[in-house]
Amino acid sequence: MPVHYPKDSAAGPALTTAQTRIRITSSARRWTRRPAHISEALDFWSFAGGAANVVMQLGWPEVAYGVIESKVESGSLMRHPWKRARTTFQYLTVAILGTDQERLAYREAVNVAHRQVRSDENSPVRYNAFNRELQLWVAACLYIGFEDTHQLLHGTMSAEEAESFYQSSSTLGTTLQVTEEMWPATRADFDRYWNNACSRVSMDDTVRTYLMDLVNLRMIGWPLRLVFGNLLTFLTVGFLPPLFREELRVEWNEDDRRRFEHLFVFVSFVNRFLPRFVRHGANYVLMRDIRRRIGAGRALI
């Protein structure tokens, strides 16, 4: 499958997986089951890398300035972080667990907001939220986040398991404007797409400042930062591949990587004692809220 890029930008040389993915060395956990389907990745720990995933998405300048300059004030991450978190998690939930009709309803709701997200004469880069190439990049980042967390919790997947997991993931993009033909057909095709697409990652000072405010949790109150700040910052940096850490200019060493991976060994052990409705419960609550809003004709975002 051909690699897609914004038509007004040229791609640089392809990068390697060592640059574009975090390194996970743990083998399959003997105490966990690992069904190779993306719905199994909806463990609440999958959202621990949420801030890192936003950093990755905003690695493309067009996406970054679309967010930074967005006129949709109600969806601003920095002004309304909890609402933005809810709508993002609901998008992921409906993309993975929803019916075709529910995905269509959510697409139409997102489209209303996206119509206002386009560059103007003062924007440093050209962007349009309906650009399918930009949406494909965002969806690819979302997939990377789910696959990384799933492997941190359950150990690395075999090639067959990875392919099965990947084949269940295309709705991350097709719930919006990405077509099935655009989504890389196989896991190997996705790797080629990802490594090439990462060559477009670039952060200027404006984007870097915005993202460091996110990494340092400047959008939430100081009591939460005081209690959870160090852990969440550690998780955010840990979920970033080397390329993104370099662009963001944050430090990370091999000792940090081992502590990060060991944390998830502990978490995966604890998870074995938690019933599924606890580990996946938030997604079912979000799905019920979506269905209630659709049934009542209320706004979804």
pLDDT tens digits along 209-266 = 999 998 887 776 667 667 677 888 999 999 999 999 999 999 999 999 999 999 998 9
Q: Which of 149, 155, 143 is nearest to 235 (CA)?
A: 149
Alpha-carbon distance 148 to 43, whole Å?
12
- pLDDT tens figures, 163-192: 999 999 999 999 999 999 999 999 999 999
The number of beta carbons lying within 10 Å of the beta carbon of residue 287 is 17
The predicted model scores a pTM of 0.90
Determine, yes or no, domain membership for 43. no
Alpha-carbon distance 239 to 153, whole Å?
13
Torsion of CA 106, 48, 57, 29, to 10 degrees: -100
Q: How many domains does the chain have?
A: 1
Determine, yes or no, domain membership for 150. yes
Determine, yes or no, domain membership for 12. no
Determine, yes or no, domain membership for 3. no
Determine, yes or no, domain membership for 207. yes
The number of beta carbons lying within 10 Å of the beta carbon of residue 279 is 17
Task: Count Cβ neighbours within 10 Å for each residue of 160-173 and write b for 16 or more, e otherwise.
Answer: ebbebbbebbbbbb
Residue range of the domain that includes 85: 48-296
Determine, yes or no, domain membership for 301. no
Mean pLDDT, residues 94-106: 93
- Find the farthest-apart pair of alpha carbons in the chain and give their distance in angstroms, rounded: 57
pLDDT at 187: 96
Three-state secondary structure call for residue 242: helix
List Cβ neighbours of 186 (8 Å cut-off, separation of 6 or more).
163, 166
Alpha-carbon distance 97 to 258, whole Å?
33
List Cβ neighbours of 179 (8 Å cut-off, separation of 6 or more).
132
Determine, yes or no, domain membership for 229. yes
Determine, yes or no, domain membership for 260. yes
Alpha-carbon distance 37 to 149, whole Å?
13
